[in-house]
């Protein structure tokens, strides 16, 4: 398995664990500039009563704490769903070099649609973005989760 696929598999495991906690199944992983895994996280908005506790935000906080830095220069973020506008702004502020995401998010996505945060002149830093990495799996996970919650 290619390295970027295996990191996305770990992010998918985080997404599955989030679903088991009753959270929207989104998972993220941050790789350091040297290729070591700095952080991995799943959504915890319900558990933490925190609307900002998206997988990406939790992973960015943990990776910054691990490096003792407010910047994640040279790091890569893997996330199972297209980041929302809030997370995209945090990714830009953290100076993350590369973003790999799975499913696109027509409702809340802020990268390829909606706010398109990285395309704004106000964006301080534009990471390289690669979409559709294990996108079908990430989408299926979300579909199952919302189908179960609707009781269908
Ligand atoms: Zn987000």
Residue 1: per-residue pLDDT = 62
49 carries a ligand binding annotation: no
SS3 118: helix
* Residue 107, CB-side half-sphere exposure with 13 Å CA sphere: 4
Q: Ligand 1 centroid vs 84 CA: distance in angstroms?
A: 4
Active site residues: 56
Residue 100 has pLDDT above 90, yes or no: yes
> pTM of the entire structure?
0.95
Contact partners, residue 48, CB within 8 Å, separation at least 6: none
- The strand pairing partners of 37, in sequence order, are 31
Residue 121 has pLDDT above 80, yes or no: yes
Q: What is the mean pLDDT of the chain?
A: 95
User: Which residue segments constitute the domains of the chain, with CATH numbers given?
Assistant: 7-145 (3.40.140.10)
Q: Ligand 1 centroid vs 71 CA: distance in angstroms?
A: 18
Count of CB atoms situated within 10 Å of the CB of 128:
11
Q: What is the mean pLDDT of residues 127-141?
A: 95
The per-residue pLDDT for range 22-74, each reduced to its tens digit, is: 999 999 999 999 999 999 999 999 999 999 999 999 999 999 999 999 999 99
């Amino acid at each position: 398995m290619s390295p970027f696929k295996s990191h996305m598999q770990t992010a998918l495991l985080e997404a599955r664990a989030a679903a088991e906690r009753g959270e929207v199944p989104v998972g993220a992983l941050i790789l350091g500039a040297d290729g070591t895994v700095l952080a991995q996280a799943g959504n915890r908005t319900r558990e933490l009563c925190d609307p900002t506790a998206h997988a990406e935000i939790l992973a960015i906080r943990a990776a910054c704490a691990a490096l003792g830095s407010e910047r994640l220069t040279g790091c890569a973020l893997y996330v199972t769903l297209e980041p929302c506008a809030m997370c995209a702004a945090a990714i830009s502020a953290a100076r993350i070099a590369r973003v790999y995401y799975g499913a696109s998010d027509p409702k809340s996505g802020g990268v390829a649609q909606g706010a398109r945060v990285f395309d704004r002149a106000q964006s301080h830093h534009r990471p390289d973005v690669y979409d559709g990495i294990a996108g079908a799996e990430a989408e299926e996970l979300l579909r199952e989760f919302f189908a179960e919650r609707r009781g269908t």
